[in-house]
Structure 1
Amino acid sequence: MTAASSLGFSAERLHRLDRFITERYLESGRFPCAQVLIARHGDVVHEFVGGKRDLARNKPCEADTLFRIYSMTKPITSIAFMMLVEEGKVALDDPVHRFIPEWKDLGVFNAGGLGAFQTKPAGRPMQMVDLLRHTSGLTYGFQNRTNVDAAYRKLGIGEIGSTIDLDDMIAKLGKLPLEFSPGEAWNYSVSTDVLGYLVGKISGMPFEEFLRRRIFEPLGMEDTDFQVRESERDRFGACYNATPKGGLDLQDDPETSAYLAPPGLVSGGGGLVSTAADYMKFCQMLLGRGALGDHRLIAPKTLDLMTANHLPDGKDLTQLSRSLFSEATNAGVGFGLGFAVVTDPAKTLVPCSQGEFYWGGAASTAFWIDPVEDLAVVFMTQTLPSSAYPIRRELRTLVYSALVDPAR
């Protein structure tokens, strides 16, 4: 019996997944590289590694390649914040202005632009839960949707590689209006960057140090950081933009990348680099209901709370989202405290389980956790934007088609 079959998977069908990625994405030049890591019942079922981590220098992608995980940073930051909730240092219904007093009277956009905004009072104060579930009224500059988005772009708020640090970001946000009253809608935003700031302020230690001491070291995530260290530089992959004709243009050269130096903005929303193996340790902790081995980060009931749908009135993203971000188009998917959550598998039109939770990164990386099947999947590549190809939906179909003995 093979390792795959002993864990309920068909080895032949898993190799079909490998062929699909190779032919559809690597040989066609759509992706420079790809890595898939699948684990079930605590053991790795399958790993695929292919392509080049650096096309210009002909360097192959390897199991320990370092990737920019962008928004896959968000669930890690959310776990860090909930660790402080468990310690009684902050509550989910606390107003954000308890720790950021200058935000107490943030208004909601009514008219105007940067330097001449007109606002109206918010329906209620922004709460911590709004930051975790993206109902805060904050936004991202890349949305290109409103005058508030334009102000974020003008001021460089929330941009990876920005020279604006967390303190500066908080100060600038305090002078801009919200896009809507907290709790009124869902909008992908710098909310998780604000959570990172709050983790540092509430814990009394720098945010990056909190992650290192409280999460990365206990889980053995030795390659996960906001900077590529000198000893790791040769393992760092290049990042590319997808072209309209299906090719790739270099977006970030690993030998001159801003990730080689300490960041100006320690971004809890998108600043980490990691490996598939490191991120799988984080996923295994989630599958372990908050613990990996002897190290418990959060309690099972806290994780249950995080992976419930927290969108008002039980709505899904299609009903509540004002975001142009592609992940928000998924029917049957709500949002918890740091994760998207499957609320109605039939509406997603892809194989999945009730209660499955997940997220992804801008360079097409992705992960998902299926508690029903005790399954975790991590996918790594480096192609911007994440909406260029439907790889995440295709991966779900291919992985679940190989799971021939479910819920065993």
Structure 2
Amino acid sequence: MDAQSQWTGLDAGRLDRIADHLERNYIAPQKIMGCQIAVARHGHMAYQKSFGSMDLERNKPMADDAIFRIYSMTKPITSIALMTLYEKGYFQLNDPISRYVPSWKNHRVWVSGEGEDMVTEAPKRPVSFRDVLSHSGGFTYGGGLPGVGIQHLVDKTYRELKIRTFGGLDSPGAFLDKLSQVPLLYQPGERWMYSLSTDICGALVELISGKPFAQYLQDEIFGPLGMTDTSFFVAPDKVDRFCANYQRGPDKKLQLIDDPATSAFTKEPAFKSGGGGLTGTTADYMKFCEMLRRGGELDGHRVIGPRTLAMMHMNHLAGGKDLSQVALGSFSETSNEGVGFGLGFASSMDEVSTGSLGSGDYYWGGAASTIFLVDPKEDLTMVFMTQLMPSGTFNFRGQLKSLIYSAIVD
């Protein structure tokens, strides 16, 4: 056994299968333009490699410090930020959000119909902080997810009120007040639906802390962890490191959908989306994951307490059910069987039901097929970055878990 394998308990030869798999199945046939992966165990980097191109049009090879749109991998960062305010005593999980946003006392719950014919009822209880952290408050994405569109009659109300996260111009306060006018899709806490709930969390961070959301993230997370390349926009001196973003066309060939030179991500947005607005590097996100693996601390900087973090990746779904029993809608960043959901993270509850190797990992992903996981039992972290939309195009998570977990030999 080589030194690396002794430190990590991961067989280096087996990990080399990752390169063969990605090159043969994705890079060579140009199913993706390029990618990066980093795998660490016991705090030691076990595997790290860049593949392919970061910009096919400019023929640029994938740079180790390439910057990616991480989209919904923003959500765990935002959730951690809000929970740091929980630790400071600003709220309890079951507190109504109307305590900070009085207009939320006016919420109604959808029963049937649309427009003037819509029938609603009073909520059985107010929407709580736990509800928005766990996507269980009755909100939707308002038909705003690329490639998904309107899923429910309620979504039309979001459109009518111009509730937007990407490209939105509302202040956090105005955003929250608009949401008081939208009927909840279901009674708070009773179901689960992927939604702009984490954008709500980001707006609450700003409202409660009194700091701009981006500044709070910098002060509490990015600065302490040394995440120097993570931001809501790519600065002019970093644009040459910014990846192009693609989708597969009808002919299954890659189509450019966001040129890094003209991308909206090169300009600071008015609304900082806590649900999907960040860009960053593999190295930066690995620092975030290592902080999680270490129970909320990295290099002497504690971001969150270990018991708070442990509670965050427990299953908070009603009755301890998995997503297959309570989820509405057809889209999120996870499969549903054997998967629970906590406060900002999905969690593997049952290996047999999920059909993938694991030991109770928690995780999430982003719309451009980026993924990460943290496994406290195996002391393992993994970050995979590419830029292919939508995220459900290929099962990178399942495939990479098979390759990584089968390399564990201790």
Q: Normalising by the residue count of structure 2, what TM-score does the alignment of the two structures yield?
A: 0.95
Asked if 1:163 corresponds to 2:169, the answer is yes
Structure 1 residue aligned with 2:62:
61
Shift of 1:110: 2.4
Partner of 1:145: 151
Per the alignment, residue 15 of structure 1 pairs with 16
Distance in 2 between residues matched to 1:165 and 1:229, nearest whole Å: 22
**Gaps in structure 2 of 5+ consecutive residues:** none
Evaluate the alpha carbon distance shift between residue 251 and residue 345 of structure 1 in structure 2; reply closer, same or farther with a 3 A threshold.
Answer: same
2:27 maps to amino acid:
L
Aligned residue in 1 for 2:355? 349
Aligned alpha-carbon RMSD (Å): 1.5
Q: Which amino acid aligns with 2:363?
A: Y
Deviations 1:108-165 (A, max 9, x none): 1123435664321112110000001110000012352211123324544344233344
| Pairing 1:237-276 to 2, within 5 Å after superposition | 237-276=243-282
Q: What are the within-5 Å matches in structure 2 for residues 360-371 of structure 1? A: 360-371=365-376
Displacement of 1:11 in angstroms is 1.6
Supply the distance in 1 between the matched residues of 2:70 and 2:333 (Cα, whole angstroms): 16
Q: Residues 115, 56 of structure 1: CA spacing in aligned structure 2 closer, same or farther, 3 A cutoff?
A: farther
Q: Is the 8 A contact 1:318 1:328 kept in 2?
A: no
Change (3 A) 1:155 1:321: same
In structure 1, distance between residues paired with 2:209 and 2:172: 15
**Displacement after TM superposition at 1:281 (Å):** 0.3
- Taking the aligned partners of 2:52 and 2:160, their CA distance within structure 1 comes to 37
Give yes or no for contact 2:136–2:191 (8 Å, CA) kept in 1.
yes
**Same amino acid, percent of matched pairs:** 47
Contact kept in structure 2, 1:156 and 1:164, CA below 8 Å: no
In structure 2, C-alpha distance between the alignment counterparts of 1:122 and 1:380, rounded to whole Å: 40
Q: What is the CA distance between 1:326 and its match in structure 2?
A: 4.5
Q: Report the Cα distance in structure 2 between the residues aligned to 1:364 and 1:50, rounded to whole angstroms.
A: 15
Judged with a 3 Å threshold, the aligned counterparts in structure 2 of structure 1 residues 146 and 24 are, in CA distance, closer, same or farther, namely same
Structure 1 unmatched ranges of 5 or more:
none
d(CA) in 1 for partners of 2:205 and 2:116? 30
Secondary structure at the residue paired with 2:121? strand
Q: Partner letter of residue 61 of structure 2?
A: P
**What corresponds to 1:44 in structure 2?**
45
**Pair 1:377 & 2:382 matched:** yes
Q: Structure 1 residues 343 and 111, CA, compared in 2 at 3 Å: closer, same or farther?
A: same
Aligned to 2:137: 136
Assess if the C-alpha contact under 8 Å between 1:37 and 1:276 holds in 2: yes
Shift of 1:400: 1.1
Once the two structures are superposed, residues 23-54 of structure 1 have per-residue CA deviations (whole angstroms, 9 ceiling, x without a partner) of 11111111111100011111111112011111
- Aligned runs of 1:253-402 on 2, under 5 Å? 253-327=259-333, 329-354=335-360, 356-402=361-407
Structure 1 residues 115 and 53: alpha-carbon distance in aligned structure 2, compared to 1, 3 A threshold? farther
Q: Which whole-Å deviations, capped at 9, do the CAs of 1:157-205 have from their partners, x for residues lacking one?
A: 3442333443332232121111011011000001110110111111111
Pick closer, same or farther for the CA change 1:89–1:110 going to 2, 3 Å. same
The match for 2:193 is 187
Query: Displacement of 1:246 after TM fit?
Result: 2.7
Q: Distance in 2 between the 1:107 and 1:145 partners? A: 19
Q: Compared with structure 1, are the counterparts of its residues 119 and 202 closer, same or farther at alpha carbon in structure 2 (3 Å cutoff)?
A: same
Distance in 1 separating the partners of 2:159 and 2:367: 17
**Deviation of 1:404 (Å):** 2.2
Provide the residue aligned with 2:224 in structure 1: 218
Per the TM alignment, residue 209 of structure 1 is displaced from its structure 2 partner at its CA by 0.5
Quickly say closer, same or farther: Cα 1:114–1:43, change in 2 above 3 A: farther
Cα pair 1:332 1:347 within 8 Å, conserved = yes
Distance 2:117 2:303 in 1: 45
Question: What secondary structure, in the 3-state scheme, does the structure 2 residue paired with 1:104 have?
Answer: helix
Separation in structure 2 between the aligned mates of residue 165 and residue 275 of structure 1, nearest angstrom: 28
Q: Quote the residue 1:73 is aligned against.
A: 74
1:46 maps to a residue whose letter is: Y
Corresponding residue for 2:182?
A: 176
Contact 1:158 1:190 in 2 (8 A): no
SS of the equivalent of 2:382 reads strand
Report which stretch shifted further, 262-271 or 150-159: 150-159
Cα separation, 2, equivalents of 1:4 and 1:277: 21
Taking the aligned partners of 2:27 and 2:125, their CA distance within structure 1 comes to 49
Give 1:325's aligned amino acid.
F
Where do 1:89-168 residues align within 5 Å? 89-114=90-115, 117-140=118-141, 141=143, 142=145, 143=148, 144-168=150-174
Question: Helix, strand or coil for the counterpart of 2:16?
Answer: helix
Q: In terms of mean alpha carbon deviation, does 345-354 or 3-12 score higher?
A: 3-12
Q: Once the 2 structures are TM-superposed, how far is the Cα of residue 12 of structure 1 from its aligned partner?
A: 1.6
Equivalent AA in structure 2 for residue 383 of structure 1: L
Aligned length: 404
CA contact (8 A) 1:216 1:224 kept: yes
